[in-house]
């Protein structure tokens, strides 16, 4: 399936990797060195960290605990909000990839991308990668800063579990962002989607409210979002010292999500391109 | 051999709007290109002319696969623009006027390298091709400056370089000189004619509403009016379409609106345009007329002098492409 997705037509087997790397490079140079980005990656995560901390704090004074399939964790509030913030900000950055296409469309460069025979999914992937990577190193810096400044109860017993939780959460969020970016292209409302998704996702994913405290339907809806599952896996493996077998169900779920989102993004981008060419909405001129 | 063929190519845009938030949806259809039949030869510089909204850009977009035709058929170098879209994209490129379609925070070189990667230009050739293109469009010295520091003309030249990054066999230029200074526009026209067409043998389809531009460089031109091709030929053939007509350009001081309007009562005189100008510091009318014979020239002058006006400048010339275009569009409108 993946081979057919990236083949993009019999004779259009262009350098997928080159396209992805070119997109990432462009994305980094075009969007990174701005005050806006610096604000976003430096100031906002710190402010948000405080917000999440105080939103989660009241729950530590109640009987509501962090529990998943019988695994109960004592909530380390700083560790919880930090891991939550790490994953959530990454999620936000992938969300923004969709919004970037709005800018590309208005600038006329989106049309130029589609004028080329480059693989569409590779363009999308490069853009989403670029959007996420440019935040990542500063996020890591933030995490390190917090780790040294505050006493976080890290308890790791299985590094494979931690590694896989991190990797699969990253990929699942990336492919989720890919799908949203494809949908943004289709709907031409990337910015709006990015804004509309932020708060609901923060709630149902367990970032600011423990999942156990949510109404059951809402909590179940949260499991459709990779951020929710990724957060549980990360918290269990990094803060709870859980082993691979304890989180394997979560990791398999993330793997399934990755596959589903890649296929979804593939079809969505095709539909989006065809629709734009039929309606004549590829550009604003 | 024909590089571009359009057969009954049609594009209808549909837009819907509600009068109120939950009101009835009103669907409006606009035929932008209406059964266009056209052939452009290999190595030809073909001009597609027409006013705003004539369907020029829509035609170009359909030919370079950015827009799907509603009906009809088009091919580029024997490839169907719908069924073989991916192959078509490898051999065509498009340059549009204006300052969009490039990345402002990237340098000129980075912009070209990015697009070269999208076109999968062989890795070992990217650097040399980009350098050659930058030299070709005269941006070598500013290649490593960010595009936001470029002037309008430089951005447009970079656009042209971008359009050549995949060494296209067929190039679409959509109003490439719009908004540019006269001398820069002339440079670009010469570049397209001499370097791209005469030296490199590329097929170029140029859309413009500057008649002089088309007359200067195009091998053949087609007039597009409300999506329909209303005339086709070389610029001189189309100019000769006016046949017996002679163009009179008059500058008249002291004329009244009534005396200008009075011209239309003459048989065999067609008023092409009237505009307010300043002549030697005094306001005047510049009037362009098509007349059927030389004999009407003194009659026209007399007409103004009778009404107390003074003809301060008179120019009699053969009709050009612009005259032919205005004549044809008037005929279409009527």
Q: Nearest C-alpha of chain B: how many angstroms from A171?
A: 24
Is A1 touching B (CB cutoff 8 A)? no
Q: Nearest C-alpha of chain B: how many angstroms from A19?
A: 6
What value does the mean pLDDT take over residues A245-261? 93
Q: Which of A37-46, A70-79, B11-20, B37-46 has the lowest mean pLDDT?
A: A37-46
What value does the mean pLDDT take over residues A245-274? 91
Mutate to test the interface with A, among B118, B158, B162, B170 (most CBs of A within 10 A): B118
B230 within 8 A of B223, measured Cβ to Cβ: yes
What value does the mean pLDDT take over residues A249-256? 94
Is A117 touching B (CB cutoff 8 A)? yes
Is A18 touching B (CB cutoff 8 A)? yes
Question: What's the pLDDT score for residue A11?
Answer: 45
Question: What's the pLDDT score for residue B126?
Answer: 94
A19/B118 CB distance under 8 A: yes
Query: Which chain B residue shows the shortest CA-CA distance from A123?
Result: B118
Token pair for A62: 């109640």
B92 within 8 A of B169, measured Cβ to Cβ: yes
The rounded distance, in Å, linking the Cα atoms of A252 and B93 is: 45
The rounded distance, in Å, linking the Cα atoms of A24 and A32 is: 11
Is B31 touching A (CB cutoff 8 A)? no
Q: Nearest C-alpha of chain B: how many angstroms from A284?
A: 11
The rounded distance, in Å, linking the Cα atoms of B232 and B209 is: 15
- φ, ψ dihedrals at B310, nearest 5°: -130, 125
B103/A113 CB distance under 8 A: no
Question: What's the pLDDT score for residue A14?
Answer: 52
Pairing mode of beta strands B25-41, B79-80? unpaired
The rounded distance, in Å, linking the Cα atoms of B65 and B89 is: 7
Q: How would residue A10 be classed by pLDDT, with cut points 50, 70 and 90?
A: very low
Is B125 touching A (CB cutoff 8 A)? no
Rg of the Cα atoms in chain B: 24
Place of tokens 């959530």: A88
Query: Which chain B residue shows the shortest CA-CA distance from A278?
Result: B68
Question: What's the pLDDT score for residue B220?
Answer: 95
Model ipTM value:
0.79
A114/B102 CB distance under 8 A: no
Is A13 touching B (CB cutoff 8 A)? no
Token pair for A121: 């999914």
State whether the Cα torsion A31-A34-A36-A39 is positive or negative: positive
Place of tokens 């087609």: B222
A109/B66 CB distance under 8 A: no
Q: Which residues contact A188 (CB under 8 A, 6 or more apart)?
A: A102, A105, A281
The rounded distance, in Å, linking the Cα atoms of A146 and A46 is: 10
Distance from chain centroid for Cα B98:
13
- Number of inter-chain CB pairs under 8 A, A vs B: 94
Helices and strands counted in chain B (H then E): 11, 14
Q: Give the rounded percent of residues in chain A with a pLDDT score beyond 70.
A: 82
Q: Which residues contact B159 (CB under 8 A, 6 or more apart)?
A: B95, B96, B101, B102, B176
| Residue A233: CB atoms within 10 Å | 29
Question: What's the pLDDT score for residue A155?
Answer: 81
pTM for the full model? 0.80
Q: Which residues contact A23 (CB under 8 A, 6 or more apart)?
A: A122, A123, A125, A126, A127, A129, A130
Chain B residues near residue A30 by CB distance under 8 angstroms:
103-106
Is B120 touching A (CB cutoff 8 A)? yes
Token pair for B304: 């103004």
Q: Nearest C-alpha of chain A: how many angstroms from B230?
A: 25
Mean pLDDT, chain A, as a whole number?
Answer: 81
Query: Which one of B11, B89, B110 has the shortest CB-CB distance to A116?
Result: B89
Each residue's pLDDT tens digit, A131-172:
777 666 666 666 666 666 667 777 888 899 999 999 999 889
Is B90 touching A (CB cutoff 8 A)? yes
Query: Which chain B residue shows the shortest CA-CA distance from A122?
Result: B118
Query: Which one of A18, A26, A30 has the shortest CB-CB distance to B120?
Result: A18
Cα of first residue to Cα of last residue in chain B, in angstroms, is 37
A238 within 8 A of A166, measured Cβ to Cβ: no
Q: How many residues does chain A have?
A: 285
Instruction: Dump strand ranges (E) for B138-245.
Output: 170-174, 203-208, 220-225, 228-233
Query: Which one of A29, A31, A111 has the shortest CB-CB distance to B66?
Result: A111
Is B161 touching A (CB cutoff 8 A)? no
Question: What's the pLDDT score for residue B153?
Answer: 85
User: In this model, does residue A13 exceed pLDDT 70?
Assistant: no
Regions of chain B short of the pLDDT cut 70: 242-243, 334
Q: Strand, coil or helix: what is B78?
A: coil
Question: CA torsion B161→B165→B170→B174, rounded to 10°?
Answer: -40
Query: Which one of B90, B104, B118 has the shortest CB-CB distance to A22?
Result: B118
Of A275 and B131, the one with more pLDDT: B131
The rounded distance, in Å, linking the Cα atoms of B270 and B267 is: 8
Mutate to test the interface with B, among A16, A34, A35, A280 (most CBs of B within 10 A): A280
Place of tokens 């989720």: A176
User: In this model, does residue A35 exceed pLDDT 70?
Assistant: no
> Which residues in chain B (100-119) have CB-CB distances under 8 A to chain A?
100-106, 110, 113-115, 117-119
Chain A residues near residue B89 by CB distance under 8 angstroms:
115-117
Q: Which of A71-75, A207-211, A278-282 has the lowest mean pLDDT?
A: A71-75
Query: Which one of A14, A30, A274 has the shortest CB-CB distance to B120?
Result: A14
Question: What's the pLDDT score for residue B143?
Answer: 94
Token pair for B51: 């006013």
Question: What's the pLDDT score for residue B60?
Answer: 95
């Amino acid at each position: 399936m993946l081979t057919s997705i990236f083949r993009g037509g019999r004779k259009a087997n262009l350098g997928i990797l080159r396209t992805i790397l070119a997109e990432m490079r462009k994305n980094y140079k075009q969007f990174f060195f701005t005050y806006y980005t610096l604000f976003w990656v430096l100031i906002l995560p710190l402010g948000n960290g405080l917000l999440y901390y105080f939103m989660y704090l009241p729950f530590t004074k109640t009987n509501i605990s962090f529990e998943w399939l019988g695994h109960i964790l004592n909530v380390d509030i700083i560790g919880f909000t930090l891991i939550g913030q790490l994953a959530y900000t990454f999620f936000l950055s992938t969300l923004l990839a969709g919004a970037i296409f709005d800018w590309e469309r208005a600038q006329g460069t989106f049309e130029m991308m589609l004028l080329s025979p480059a693989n569409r999914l590779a363009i999308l992937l490069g853009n989403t990668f670029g959007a996420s990577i440019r935040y990542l190193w500063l996020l890591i810096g933030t995490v390190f800063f917090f780790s040294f400044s505050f006493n976080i109860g890290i308890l790791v017993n299985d590094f494979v579990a931690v590694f896989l939780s991190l990797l699969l959460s990253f990929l699942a969020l990336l492919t989720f962002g890919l799908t949203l970016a494809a949908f943004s292209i289709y709907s031409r409302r990337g910015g709006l989607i990015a804004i509309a998704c932020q708060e609901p996702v923060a709630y149902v994913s367990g970032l600011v409210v423990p999942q156990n405290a949510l109404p059951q339907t809402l909590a179940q809806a949260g499991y459709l979002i990779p951020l929710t599952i990724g957060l549980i896996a990360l918290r269990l493996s990094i803060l709870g010292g859980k082993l691979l077998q304890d989180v394997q169900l979560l990791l398999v779920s993330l793997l399934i999500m990755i596959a589903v989102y890649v296929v979804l993004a593939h079809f969505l981008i095709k539909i989006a391109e065809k629709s734009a060419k039929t309606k004549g909405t590829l550009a604003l001129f | 051999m024909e590089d571009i063929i359009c057969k009954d190519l049609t594009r209808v845009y549909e837009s819907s709007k509600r009068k109120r938030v939950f009101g009835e949806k009103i669907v409006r259809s606009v035929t932008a290109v209406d059964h266009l039949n056209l052939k452009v030869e290999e190595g030809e510089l073909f001009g597609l002319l027409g006013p705003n909204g004539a369907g020029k850009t829509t035609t170009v977009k359909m030919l370079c696969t950015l827009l799907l035709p509603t009906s009809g058929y088009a091919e580029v170098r024997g490839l169907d623009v719908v069924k073989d879209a991916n192959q078509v994209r490898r051999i065509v490129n498009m340059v549009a006027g204006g300052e969009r379609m490039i990345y402002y925070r990237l340098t000129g070189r980075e912009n070209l390298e990015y697009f070269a990667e999208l076109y999968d230009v062989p890795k070992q050739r990217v650097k040399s091709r980009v350098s050659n293109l930058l030299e070709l469009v005269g941006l070598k010295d500013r290649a490593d400056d960010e595009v936001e520091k470029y002037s309008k003309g430089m951005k447009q030249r970079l656009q042209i370089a971008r359009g050549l990054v995949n060494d296209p066999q067929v190039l679409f230029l959509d109003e490439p000189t719009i908004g540019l200074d006269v001398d820069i526009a002339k440079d670009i026209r010469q570049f397209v004619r001499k370097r791209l067409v005469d030296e490199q043998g590329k097929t170029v389809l140029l859309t413009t509403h500057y008649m002089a531009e088309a007359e200067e460089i195009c091998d053949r031109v087609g007039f597009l009016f409300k999506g329909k091709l209303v005339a086709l030929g070389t610029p001189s053939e189309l100019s000769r379409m006016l046949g017996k007509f002679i163009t009179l350009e008059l500058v008249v001081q002291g004329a009244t609106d009534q005396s200008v309007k009075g011209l239309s009562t003459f048989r065999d005189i067609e008023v092409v345009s009237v505009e307010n100008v300043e002549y030697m510091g005094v306001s005047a009318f510049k009037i362009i007329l098509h007349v059927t014979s030389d004999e009407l020239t003194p009659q026209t002058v007399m007409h103004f002098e009778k009404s107390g006006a003074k003809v301060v400048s008179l120019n009699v010339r053969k009709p050009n492409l612009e005259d032919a275009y205005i004549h044809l569009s008037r005929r279409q409108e009527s």
